[in-house]
Structure 1
Amino acid sequence: MKFPDSIDAVQTMLAGQDYICGRALATVVFLSLKLGRPLFLEGEAGVGKTEIAKALAAGLDRRLIRLQCYEGLDAASAVYEWNFAAQMVAIRTAEASGTADRKALQAELFSDEFLTERPLLDAMRPDPRGAPVLLIDELDRTDEPFEAFLLEALSDFQVTIPEIGAIKAPEPPIVILTSNRTREVHDALKRRCLYHWVDYPDFDRELDILKARAPEAAETLSREIIAFVQALRTEDLFKKPGVAETIDWAKCLLALDVINLSPELISDTLGAILKYQDDIRKLQGSEAKRILDQARASLAPA
């Protein structure tokens, strides 16, 4: 599928995948596709950074290749590994047959047959559907040396395997990097990307998102859910609920056949929107009622 030819077309394509975004985010996505630049998305956890890569891949009918980052991730784990067990079998088979040619065997051992491709190398391979979407998720969890390694991949869209050489993508992948900003990512990497901060949505957009992801929820309940979650985000919490938690909570309430929120019901289902016991403890008892009253007051007509 061809890239969208306008910002409005980007919004329409993403909306077709139930991803509702504002014009600013749609603009930077359009420019990333148009210019072939990686897109770096920062924001709190649960605001939809990962989901945009999934929506793009589905909307463009491209493969989604995900590199989930973690502390200690190195180039070998992200690019390739040699299948040592298969190599040893090949060596012993050649020795047992008595036909081992050292140079020929070495060339065979370090060929594609024994190469296990990891996400970065996989993203550089040709694909009949077009360049894949490469999601480098939660980059802030990695170490700085891995960031330095990524510079080659994102500058030249190639990776180097010492035994084979440089492998360059015939068509640059569509690269989405995300960060929850648990630490600062180096400027050298950011300079190679277009940047966007993904914030919590306003009331109307979050309501549209909920309608897309949980369409069976009644209008009144949906509005109460959004108003409560947005009021909750103003509280002093260790981890504020993201849009993902809003959707999860709505689905939990629907499973319980809830029509309207109540302080007791909120207390019983807090585990769907808050993930730390200290935060849950703060919302017990009268606090849930206070925030619910605040949320309902915000919904009252002026």
Structure 2
Amino acid sequence: MAKLPQSVDETQALLSDGKYVSDRSLATVLYLSLSLGRPLFLEGEAGTGKTEIAKVLAETLNRSLLRLQCYEGLDVASAVYEWNYARQMVEIRLSEATGDRDREQLASDIFSEQFLIERPILKALRPDVLGPPVLLIDELDRTDEPFEAFLLEVLADYQVTIPELGTIKAPQPPIVIITSNRTREIHDALKRRCYYHWVDYPTAERELQILKVKAPKASEELSHQVVAFVQKLRGMDLFKLPGVAETIDWADALTQLDKVALTPDAIDDTLGILLKYQDDIAKVEGSEARRILDQVKQEMATEAARQSI
């Protein structure tokens, strides 16, 4: 079992080992969350790298990753546990056929742990030979408020109560990462049980570092142009701004097409990789894309001239 990082610098290095380029503020709150055993609540726009943090932690710490993908109508049976009703019915039929147990004994037997189906939250509370697992509760804002209320017991005491079995408490707290795209507000009672961090779009400098790690085959000129172009798109009034994942995908796609620099035709042909809504594509393609590209090239030329002085 890999040791938890002992400082902010070690935490940032840990993320770097997993090819995640973070700023110091994120590394700081993550270090405190790991050190003090508190859940970490990550909020931000879709595509800013929130989910990836949990994946990187599981990989670099050599822990199991348990992912609970949230959706509207998510309930305890899907998130925590449910009884294996098919096996219970078979057990009841066998008992009726053999007559070897009375009703009370049968009820006790079929509501034992061997008939329990464990979902991600309950699995996260169980001992693991690799150490406390990483529990990713992804896109919590997609669930309903009653599920939030249920999570309060889990996040406060790292335990769940099953009426037929009693309370199951984790011997060691799991590493809990909760993400939200802020499509609705999460209740304060849940946020108070977590450390909070807003994951914003990266600066141009950090996004360029991300491309060097995640899209190393892209030429230096292409990477600079892609980042500059995407940064300008994020300043526009679009329905869905491109995230870091789209930036990486776009750089990879352009490289696959043997592009070493952006051209108007290359942009128009590949905008569907960067933007996911037709209205946004229609707003950018053609003359607007050329205008943005000209601006990017002019700014890069000005910066190159400044540095040569």
Residues 208-223 of structure 1 correspond to what in structure 2 (within 5 A)?
Answer: 208-223=209-224
Give the corresponding residue for 1:45: 46
Distance in structure 2 (CA, Å) of the matches to 1:194 and 1:153: 15
Give the corresponding residue for 2:201: 200
1:50 is displaced (CA, Å) by 0.2
1:235 is displaced (CA, Å) by 1.0
8 Å contact kept, 2:271–2:285: no
SS of the equivalent of 2:161 reads strand
Give the corresponding residue for 2:77: 76
Give the corresponding residue for 1:99: 100
Distance in structure 2 (CA, Å) of the matches to 1:23 and 1:145: 35
Give the corresponding residue for 1:165: 166
Distance in structure 2 (CA, Å) of the matches to 1:299 and 1:12: 31
SS of the equivalent of 2:197 reads strand
8 Å contact kept, 1:69–1:137: yes
8 Å contact kept, 1:231–1:294: no
Residues 1-302 of structure 1 correspond to what in structure 2 (within 5 A)?
Answer: 1-300=2-301, 301=303, 302=306
Superposition TM-score, scaled by structure 2 size: 0.96
Distance in structure 2 (CA, Å) of the matches to 1:39 and 1:193: 5
Distance in structure 2 (CA, Å) of the matches to 1:243 and 1:59: 21
SS of the equivalent of 1:57 reads helix
1:296 is displaced (CA, Å) by 2.0
Give ranges in structure 2 of 5+ residues lacking alignment: none
1:88 is displaced (CA, Å) by 0.6
Q: Which moved further from structure 2: 250-259 or 1-10?
A: 250-259
Distance in structure 1 (CA, Å) of the matches to 2:299 and 2:123: 50
1:98 is displaced (CA, Å) by 2.6
Name the aligned partner's letter for residue 22 of structure 2.
Answer: C
Distance in structure 2 (CA, Å) of the matches to 1:76 and 1:298: 55
Name the aligned partner's letter for residue 207 of structure 2.
Answer: E
1:194 is displaced (CA, Å) by 0.5
Distance in structure 1 (CA, Å) of the matches to 2:64 and 2:216: 27
8 Å contact kept, 2:125–2:170: yes
Name the aligned partner's letter for residue 198 of structure 1.
Answer: V
Distance in structure 1 (CA, Å) of the matches to 2:266 and 2:204: 22
Distance in structure 1 (CA, Å) of the matches to 2:300 and 2:124: 47
Q: Which runs of 4+ in 1 moved over 4 A?
A: none
Aligned length: 302
For residues 204-248 of structure 1, what are the alpha-carbon distances to aligned partners after superposition, in whole Å with 9 as ceiling and x for unaligned?
110111111111111111111111111111111000000010011
Superposition TM-score, scaled by structure 1 size: 0.98
8 Å contact kept, 1:135–1:177: yes
Give ranges in structure 1 of 5+ residues lacking alignment: none
SS of the equivalent of 2:136 reads strand
Alignment identity in percent? 67
Name the aligned partner's letter for residue 230 of structure 1.
Answer: Q
1:104 is displaced (CA, Å) by 2.3
Distance in structure 2 (CA, Å) of the matches to 1:112 and 1:252: 49
Distance in structure 1 (CA, Å) of the matches to 2:230 and 2:168: 47
Name the aligned partner's letter for residue 106 of structure 2.
Answer: L
1:273 is displaced (CA, Å) by 0.9
SS of the equivalent of 1:134 reads strand
1:198 is displaced (CA, Å) by 0.5
Name the aligned partner's letter for residue 288 of structure 1.
Answer: A
Name the aligned partner's letter for residue 14 of structure 2.
Answer: M
SS of the equivalent of 1:30 reads helix
Q: Which moved further from structure 2: 256-265 or 91-100?
A: 91-100
Distance in structure 2 (CA, Å) of the matches to 1:217 and 1:101: 71
1:255 is displaced (CA, Å) by 1.5
1:153 is displaced (CA, Å) by 0.2
1:111 is displaced (CA, Å) by 1.3
1:103 is displaced (CA, Å) by 2.3
For residues 118-158 of structure 1, what are the alpha-carbon distances to aligned partners after superposition, in whole Å with 9 as ceiling and x for unaligned?
11101000011110011110011111111111000000000
Q: Which moved further from structure 2: 249-258 or 48-57?
A: 249-258
8 Å contact kept, 1:227–1:296: no
